[in-house]
C-alpha cells in the first residue's frame, strides 16, 4: 500500500522504518527547518532508526497528503487540531487516517479521533494505533503486540492485517473510546510511577498498577466505552513499557521532576493529566491518581506527601 507518515520524530520515523520493511511504499513528511526532519535529511538517521533509502522523505505536505490512500499522523497530541487545518486544505476525500499518538486535547477533553472528525474527516475513515512497545526494542527485533481500533470494523481488519509482522502482532480493537482513553491515561500512570521511583517508593508500583487500571476503567465506562478495555493492551498491557522501562519518557519525566532535574523530551502525560482531571469532573468519576499527578505538576504540591496521603487513605474495599 501507499502510506504517508506525517511526522518524523520518534514514533513517526519508526513507523516509516517499520512499514517500508513490510513492503509498503512510504512517504515520510516533516517540516523543513525542524530538527527531527533536518537530522533525517542531512544525516540519513536519527537516534532511533536509519532512514531506509526506499522512503521518500519530503517537506511538501500537499504531496504527502495527496499521494497516498492511508495517512498516518504521529505528532504532538496538542498540535493535532491546528495541524488538521493544514491537512484538510488538500484533497482528503476517501483518505484513511491512522493516529499513532496518545493524548487528550487539553482545552476540550476531546479524544484525538474526535478532533480529526471535527476537522472534517468522515468518522469511518479514522483509526487509531495504540499499545505497548518501545522503538529501541523493536529495532533490535524484540516483538510486541499492539491494537488497531476504529469506528469502522472493516477498516480495523484491513489495517491490522496489512500492518502485522513478526515484530508487531496487531489485535482488532472494538472499543475506540476505551482504546483512546486507555492509551492516553497510561502516560499519566507512567508519570506517577516515575515519581514513585524518584521518591524512593518503587514498591508502591504494584498498588499503582491495580488502582490505576481500575480508575481508568471507571472513566472509560462513564464516557460510554467498555471498562474492560482498561485491562487490555491499550492500558494495563502497556504498563511494562510505561511504568518500568528506562525508555519511557513519561516515567523518566516523573522521576526527574521529583529530583528537580530538567527533562527535555515530550511527556504527553503532563497535558493528559490536566485533560483527564477535567473529564473526571465532567463525568463525576473519582480519579485519585490522576488528581495526585495534577496536584504535583500544576499546583506544586509536595510529591512525597501527595503519594503518602494517596496510599494511606481510609480503609475500603479493593474494588
Reference 237, options 283, 189, 289, 195; nearest CA is 189
The upper half-sphere exposure of residue 293, i.e. CA atoms within 13 Å in the direction of its Cβ, equals: 32
And the C-alpha cell for 295? 496536584
Reference 272, options 78, 11, 7, 72; nearest CA is 78
Strand partners, 70: 3, 96
User: Are 28 and 20 in contact, with CB atoms under 8 Å apart?
Assistant: no
Catalytic residue among 96, 102, 110, 186: 186
And the C-alpha cell for 208? 499503582
123 flagged as catalytic = no
Taking the C-alpha atoms of residue 187 and residue 249, their distance in angstroms, rounded to an integer, is 9
Reference 124, options 160, 103, 152; nearest CA is 152
Taking the C-alpha atoms of residue 226 and residue 66, their distance in angstroms, rounded to an integer, is 36
H, E, C per residue of 33-91: CCHHHHHHHHHCECCCCECCCCCEEECCHHHHHHCCCEEEECCCHHHHHHHHHHHCCCC
And the C-alpha cell for 275? 485533560
Which residues are tagged catalytic?
Answer: 186
Amino acid at each position: 500500500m501507499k502510506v504517508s507518515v506525517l511526522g518524523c520524530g520518534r514514533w513517526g520515523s519508526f513507523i516509516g522504518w517499520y512499514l517500508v520493511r513490510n513492503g509498503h511504499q512510504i512517504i515520510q513528511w516533516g517540516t523543513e527547518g525542524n530538527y527531527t526532519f533536518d537530522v533525517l535529511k542531512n544525516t540519513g538517521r536519527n537516534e532511533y532508526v536509519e532512514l531506509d533509502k526506499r522512503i521518500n522523505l519530503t517537506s511538501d505536505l500537499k504531496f504527502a497528503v495527496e499521494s497516498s490512500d492511508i495517512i498516518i499522523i504521529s505528532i504532538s497530541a496538542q498540535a493535532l487540531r491546528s495541524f488538521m487545518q493544514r491537512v484538510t486544505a488538500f484533497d482528503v476525500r476517501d483518505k484513511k487516517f491512522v493516529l499513532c499518538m496518545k493524548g487528550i486535547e487539553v482545552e476540550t477533553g476531546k479524544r484525538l479521533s474526535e478532533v480529526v472528525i471535527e476537522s472534517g474527516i468522515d468518522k469511518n475513515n479514522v483509526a487509531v494505533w495504540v499499545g505497548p512497545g518501545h522503538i529501541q526494542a523493536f529495532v533490535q527485533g524484540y516483538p510486541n503486540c499492539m491494537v488497531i481500533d476504529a469506528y469502522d470494523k472493516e477498516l480495523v481488519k484491513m489495517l491490522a492485517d496489512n500492518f502485522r509482522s513478526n515484530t508487531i502482532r496487531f489485535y482488532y480493537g472494538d472499543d475506540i473510546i476505551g482504546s483512546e482513553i486507555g492509551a492516553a491515561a497510561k502516560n499519566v500512570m507512567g508519570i506517577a510511577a516515575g515519581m514513585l521511583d524518584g521518591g524512593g517508593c518503587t514498591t508502591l508500583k504494584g498498588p499503582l498498577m491495580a488502582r490505576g487500571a481500575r480508575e481508568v476503567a471507571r472513566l472509560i465506562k462513564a464516557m460510554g466505552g467498555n471498562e474492560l478495555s482498561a485491562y487490555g493492551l491499550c492500558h494495563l498491557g502497556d504498563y511494562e513499557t510505561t511504568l518500568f522501562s528506562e525508555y519511557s519518557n513519561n516515567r523518566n519525566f516523573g522521576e526527574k521532576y521529583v529530583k528537580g532535574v530538567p527533562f527535555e523530551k515530550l511527556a504527553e502525560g503532563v497535558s493528559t493529566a490536566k485533560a483527564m482531571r477535567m473529564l473526571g469532573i465532567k463525568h463525576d468519576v473519582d480519579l485519585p491518581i490522576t488528581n495526585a499527578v495534577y496536584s504535583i505538576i500544576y499546583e506544586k504540591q509536595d510529591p512525597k506527601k501527595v503519594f503518602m496521603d494517596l496510599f494511606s487513605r481510609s480503609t475500603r474495599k479493593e474494588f
